[in-house]
Amino acid sequence: MQVSTRNQWPGVVKAINHGNIVSEVTLEISPNVTVVSIVSKSAVEALGLTVGSQAYALVKSTEVTLAIE
């Protein structure tokens, strides 16, 4: 697989919470560091994602917002 996305982090699926249409997938990319992605339920099924499976987080963003209180 070749992609142009520069931020690519391999990880392990730690949790999948299915909704009616979308699923929340938690990917652990290093100990105690997780990335959460909201994807369609059909995409989770098509990729064959299950807890414990390996996947990549591909992050492409033109904007990052930070906030403090």
Would the pLDDT of 62 be above 80? no
CB 58 within 8 A of CB 11: no
Q: How confident is the model at residue 60 (pLDDT cuts 50, 70, 90)?
A: confident
Name the more confident of 61 and 37.
Answer: 37
pLDDT digits (tens, 9 = 90+) for 13-57: 999 999 999 999 999 999 999 999 999 999 999 999 999 999 999
Q: With b meaning 16 or more CB within 10 Å and e meaning fewer, what string describes 12-51?
A: ebeebeeeeebbebbbbeeeeeeeebeeeeeebeeeebee
Q: How confident is the model at residue 3 (pLDDT cuts 50, 70, 90)?
A: confident
Cα(36)–Cα(26) distance, integer angstroms: 4
